Structure 1
Amino acid sequence: MTMSQNDVQHYAVFTRSARKVVLSGTETEQEAQEAETQEIIIPRPPTFKDVHQQRVHLKQRLAIGFRLLAKYGWDEGVAGHATVRDPEYPDLFWVNRLGQHFGTIKASDLVLLDHEGNIVRGNRLVNKAAFMIHGAVHQARPDAVCAVHTHSIYGKTFSSLGRPLLPITQDACAFYDDHSVYDQFGGVVFDADESHRLVTCLGPRHKAIILQNHGLLTIGDTIEAAFWWFVAMERSCHSQLLAEAASVNGVHDLKVIPDEIARATAKDVGTSRAGFAQAMPMFDIVARENPECLL
């Protein structure tokens, strides 16, 4: 994913003013001239000199993502997992090991799996459901660099309703016509038939799926986007549950954003570049608070 100058212009003010000013007491005339010629930095996903550098970066970002989930209390025993596709071997993916709390995961703790469920690197067990779900997602969706699933409280509560999110807020519009509801629950995902049905429901383009009686799963073409969609979807579930509870007639009282406006809003808040940008402040603060996760 790249972010062009036109993309940035759509989201932020970034052009340099032609007006010449000197901030009295703060800078000299020479310093003012130098400030006026500074290039304005446009945040973009990093580029890499080699695949090793890229792999290190991806594993570190995945570890930060786990710490982010832990920060919000979205861990649930041995349930929950997130994966990233290896940049050199796209048929392999990195995943958290079984029974490690999200708040302790480091880049070096991740385990590399193949699509047959074999451990390629690492010496710890992996949750079988993680392999069944994520292996199927990565096989079915070449665009899915990262996938995130855990049993967050509002996501799993909302999933029991067996229906999609409504566009009742600007943030919820990110998922307008871009998520599915898997309306079957066959127990823990331990067999190929269940994982196949799940990815079939996810479809070829949706970035998220509500797993009925289970929870949420989100994907992205960057790690940052995939984790942001999970955060945003969990919060949207929370928001809709509160709105329905506060309404006399439940869902029938909600002021749902009209389709045309929701669709247009989704083009602003639901794109991959928007997901990447939204996640950056969270990833930055989590990395500062947990520098050991990069090891």
Structure 2
Amino acid sequence: MEQLKELVHTAKELYRTGLVRGTSGNVSIRDPENPDRMWITPSAIPYDEITTEDLVQVDLESGTPVRGSRKPSSETPMHSAIYRLRSDVRAVVHTHSTYATMFACAGEEIPTVHYLIAEIGDRVPVADYAVYGSEELARNAVEALKSAGANGALLKNHGVITVGENLSSAYVRAEIIETVAQLAFGAKLIGRCETLSPEQLEETRKKFVSYFAVSKR
């Protein structure tokens, strides 16, 4: 299945670009042939070693592995909960990217200092802390995305979660959150953190319809 090759490629790109370190983070897609299942990266296998044979198919309702011999990612509950909540989501990316995670550790939303954040929403919400891999974390992540109507969120004292209509859009959104987090961090150091209004972000979103058209095909 071509989508599984893309899933492995995206996982390796996350590692190559530094959005994840070691075996942290995870990636999944909704099964294109069965929307009640997903394919997710395995637990505790280095990204540079992952192949399509290591991917695991999981039932979204029960969280039970259906195909694959590996143990699915510890964050399977969070991915499953997001797919159950939003039928429009076809891919989920979870990272521990450095600057965004610094904001998550501070329990602070990333200021809207750059127009790119419009691709995420009017803000990047912070989900309440819960231990990794837990059903509580899954509920908190889902609630944060839902309450803000956002395509991404920070997980307090943990990392970042983004969603998309395909792998490309979910990956791009993870990059955007990290980029804007870096800019916001720098602006705070300079001592002047100017933010964009919801109206300015909406104006940008209208232009994004064509700007991101290629990555969302």
Question: TM-score, normalized by length of structure 1?
Answer: 0.67
Native 8 Å contact 2:111 2:123 kept in 1 = no
Unmatched runs of 5 consecutive residues or more in structure 1: 1-55, 248-252, 281-295
* Cα deviation, residue 171, structure 1: 1.9
- The alpha-carbon distance between structure 1 residues 143 and 212, as it changes in their structure 2 partners (threshold 3 A), is same
- The alpha-carbon distance between structure 1 residues 267 and 161, as it changes in their structure 2 partners (threshold 3 A), is farther
3-state DSSP of counterpart to 1:171: helix
Q: Which residue of 1 aligns with 2:176?
A: 232
Q: Which residue of 1 aligns with 2:113?
A: 168
Corresponding residue to 2:160 among 201, 208, 216? 216
User: How is 1:77-92 mapped onto 2 (pairs within 5 angstroms)?
Assistant: 77-92=22-37
* Cα deviation, residue 145, structure 1: 0.3
Aligned mates of 2:99, 2:188 — CA distance in 1:
13
Aligned mates of 1:58, 1:81 — CA distance in 2:
16
Native 8 Å contact 2:110 2:123 kept in 1 = no
3-state DSSP of counterpart to 2:27: strand
* Cα deviation, residue 99, structure 1: 1.5
Given the alignment of the two structures, is residue 64 of structure 1 paired with residue 9 of structure 2, yes or no? yes
- The alpha-carbon distance between structure 1 residues 156 and 85, as it changes in their structure 2 partners (threshold 3 A), is same
Given the alignment of the two structures, is residue 198 of structure 1 paired with residue 141 of structure 2, yes or no? yes
Q: Deviations over 1:258-277 (max 9, x none)?
A: 442222012223x5x64463
**Match of 1:254, as an amino acid?**
C
3-state DSSP of counterpart to 2:29: strand
**Match of 1:122, as an amino acid?**
G
- The alpha-carbon distance between structure 1 residues 265 and 224, as it changes in their structure 2 partners (threshold 3 A), is same
Aligned mates of 1:276, 1:212 — CA distance in 2:
31
3-state DSSP of counterpart to 1:160: helix
Aligned mates of 1:123, 1:164 — CA distance in 2:
39
Aligned mates of 2:187, 2:112 — CA distance in 1:
12
How many residues matched? 215
3-state DSSP of counterpart to 2:115: coil
Native 8 Å contact 1:75 1:101 kept in 2 = no
- The alpha-carbon distance between structure 1 residues 165 and 65, as it changes in their structure 2 partners (threshold 3 A), is same
Q: Which residue of 1 aligns with 2:188?
A: 244
Native 8 Å contact 1:166 1:172 kept in 2 = no
Native 8 Å contact 2:131 2:137 kept in 1 = no
Given the alignment of the two structures, is residue 187 of structure 1 paired with residue 127 of structure 2, yes or no? no
Q: Which residue of 1 aligns with 2:54?
A: 109
Identity of aligned residues (%): 23
Native 8 Å contact 2:164 2:170 kept in 1 = yes
Given the alignment of the two structures, is residue 264 of structure 1 paired with residue 208 of structure 2, yes or no? no
Aligned mates of 2:216, 2:17 — CA distance in 1:
14
Question: TM-score, normalized by length of structure 2?
Answer: 0.89
- The alpha-carbon distance between structure 1 residues 104 and 74, as it changes in their structure 2 partners (threshold 3 A), is farther
Native 8 Å contact 2:166 2:216 kept in 1 = no
Q: Which residue of 1 aligns with 2:42?
A: 97
Aligned mates of 1:222, 1:244 — CA distance in 2:
33
Aligned mates of 1:84, 1:72 — CA distance in 2:
20
Q: Which residue of 2 aligns with 1:125?
A: 71
**Match of 1:195, as an amino acid?**
A
Native 8 Å contact 1:78 1:127 kept in 2 = no
Aligned mates of 1:91, 1:133 — CA distance in 2:
15
Q: Which residue of 2 aligns with 1:40?
A: none
* Cα deviation, residue 67, structure 1: 1.6
Aligned mates of 1:161, 1:139 — CA distance in 2:
29
User: How is 1:255-294 mapped onto 2 (pairs within 5 angstroms)?
Assistant: 255-269=194-208, 274-275=211-212, 277-278=214-215
Q: Deviations over 1:214-257 (max 9, x none)?
A: 1110000111101110011111111111111122xxxxx22223
Q: Deviations over 1:183-235 (max 9, x none)?
A: x2122232x23322321221074211111111110000111101110011111
